[in-house]
Amino acid sequence: LGTQPLEQDKIFKYNAEEQKTIQKEAKWRKDPHYFKKVKVSGVALIKMVMHARSGGQYEIMGLMQGKIDGDTFVVMDSFALPVQGTETRVNAASEANEYMVDFLESSKNVGRLENVVGWYHSHPGYGCWLSGIDVSTQLTNQTYTDPFVAIVIDPNRTISAGRVDIGAFRTFPEGYTPPSLGKSKDDEYQSIPLSKIEDFGAHANSYYALEIEHFKSSSDSKILDLLWEKYWVMTLSQNTWLSNRVYTTSQIQEMTDKLTKSSSSLTNSKRNTLKTLIPTHLRTAIENENGHIGSNNHPENSTQNNNNNQLFHDVLKDVEKLECENLCGMFGQIIKNVLFNNNSHNCQLEFPM
């Protein structure tokens, strides 16, 4: 009996002629902000997260297959590339290129008609953004194989937060100056390690982020339900503290370094602020005598104070985030201990405020 596909399965239908038409029109060449969204299938997401997690502290890399639907990338599947990454970068060698060609040819033979629409790699422990090398790689991909999207996954923060930490990005063409957009209150703050801040800031205006959505087919839903029925005990018994203890320790050290730096900046800021309380003619005389003419003007002090205060507030956000994640892990362990290890019927769970 022929059956109509379910609504959630229609997205998996591939129309080769439609994709060719989209390629010929190439609307993204006229508008650097043309693409707005990325839809990732559940299968592709699971494969990418597992691949990223298997790399440990080293970066991994892979490609994504899918199609274009208006201003949206639709990622159907993903596959890993046999590349050797480091703790800070990953590049595809000639072996990976040969593997990619063979894999795509084999995919066509088994009915996987979608083309490559992007690449993904991991940032273990330092967030989802594009480094200078990533921007260069993505710009090359967009120049020769557009449409192309870059996805970054942080496996360490995924385990720590209990949700997939993922970001999708497109670079701007060379010579293009993006409009300056002020950050709104809804923009999510991102914690960047001290060793990466310079690289992060230097290329922050070279790309923009796309919205990410996830979808799954009706068969995916059934398979995931069956897997949950089989492995729910293993999931319940997992301890994020143990599985992610190296990352947690590194985060504590990172917070210590940031607090030390921000405290030093605030101390210098307070000294400059006290100087502004001295009458202008006396302060000028003191500065002339010490050879620091005009070194503490009010506008400069105000800007420096604002930067120092912002640095300190950013550190507080990092500390708050780390504290919340650890408290959630601790509460989860306490609840499991009370439910499964305490036989007392009158046991009450209390948390001191």
Same domain, 210 and 250: no
The domain total for the chain is 2
Same domain, 163 and 303: no
Over residues 88-126, the pLDDT tens digits come to: 555 556 667 777 778 777 777 777 788 889 999 999 888
φ/ψ of residue 195, rounded to 5: -70, -15
Same domain, 212 and 65: yes
Same domain, 294 and 212: no
How far is CA 76 from each of CA 85, 91, 115, 185, 220, rounded to the nearest angstrom? 25, 23, 10, 33, 12
Q: Write b or e for each residue in 265-280: b if 16 or more Cβ atoms lie within 10 A of its Cβ, otherwise e.
A: beeebeebeeeeeeee
Across 242-263, average pLDDT:
78
Over residues 140-169, the pLDDT tens digits come to: 889 888 899 999 999 988 887 778 889 999
Token look-up 């595809």 returns 92
Same domain, 81 and 163: yes
Same domain, 111 and 196: yes
Position 86 confidence tier, pLDDT thresholds 50, 70, 90: low
Same domain, 215 and 268: no
Same domain, 141 and 279: no
CATH number at residue 107: 3.40.140.10
Same domain, 50 and 99: yes
Give the closest residue to 125 by CA, choosing from 322, 301, 266, 265. Answer: 322
Q: Within a domain: residue 283?
A: yes
Do residues 60 and 85 make contact, with C-beta atoms less than 8 angstroms apart?
A: yes
Q: Which domain holds residue 71?
A: 7-178+186-222
List CB contacts of 77: < 8 A, sequence separation 6 or more: 41, 43, 44, 47, 64, 65, 66, 112, 114
Same domain, 109 and 249: no
Q: Within a domain: residue 352?
A: no
Same domain, 49 and 167: yes
Q: Within a domain: residue 62?
A: yes
Across 212-216, average pLDDT:
90
pLDDT for residue 228 is more than 50: yes
- 68-77, 121-130, 174-183, 273-282: range with lowest mean pLDDT: 273-282
In a 10 Å sphere around its CB, with 0-12 CB exposed, 13-18 middle and 19+ buried, how is residue 259 labelled? Answer: middle
Longest dimension (CA), the chain: 96
Same domain, 198 and 270: no
φ/ψ of residue 5, rounded to 5: -65, 145
Position 36 confidence tier, pLDDT thresholds 50, 70, 90: very high
Over residues 7-29, the pLDDT tens digits come to: 677 888 888 889 899 999 889 98
Q: pTM higher than 0.85 for the full model?
A: no
Q: Within a domain: residue 12?
A: yes
Give the closest residue to 37 by CA, choosing from 154, 208, 278. Answer: 208
Pairing of strands 149-153, 166-171: antiparallel
